[in-house]
Amino acid sequence: MRRAIALSLEMMRSGKGGPFGAVIARGDTVIAEGFNKVTSSNDPTAHAEVTAIRLACEALGSFNLSGCEIYTSCEPCPMCLGAIYWARLDRIYFANTRADAASIGFDDDFLYREIPLPLDERAIPITPLLTDEGRAAFDEWAAKPDKIAY
């Protein structure tokens, strides 16, 4: 956790992004470190947790990080929380809360409120299109004998 906090300070001070750092470890071994690169890479998905997950998957040669834990300087936002679940990390440790983040201008509450809303009530309009055609890929996946499940 101290390394995640140190990353958040170092990289924020260097101008590479917001004050967020993350470390993924397996036992006492650090697998990967990540920091917020949103502004320096012009990538809104380059949060500390996501960058750490990407690097850990690359280091381990796997999309499954079971057996690993993440230490992050702030409670994960909904996007990062989703990525953590998809990566199958075993545990999350965090320092600052989402309320702490909101107090300095990083307010994820809007996203937490949007997610449970019906599609037609969300702030960004969502319209299904070509659902029958889109279903073809899913049908083919369902029947694919050599698929790699995740």
Closest CA to 12 of 4, 20, 24: 20
Token pair for 84: 């953590």
In whole angstroms, how far apart are CA 10 and each of 5, 21, 36? 9, 9, 11
Burial class of 129 by CB neighbour count within 10 A (0 to 12, 13 to 18, 19+)? exposed
Burial class of 17 by CB neighbour count within 10 A (0 to 12, 13 to 18, 19+)? buried
Q: Residue 43 in contact with residue 19, Cβ under 8 Å?
A: no
What type of residue is 149?
A: A
Catalytic residue annotation = 49
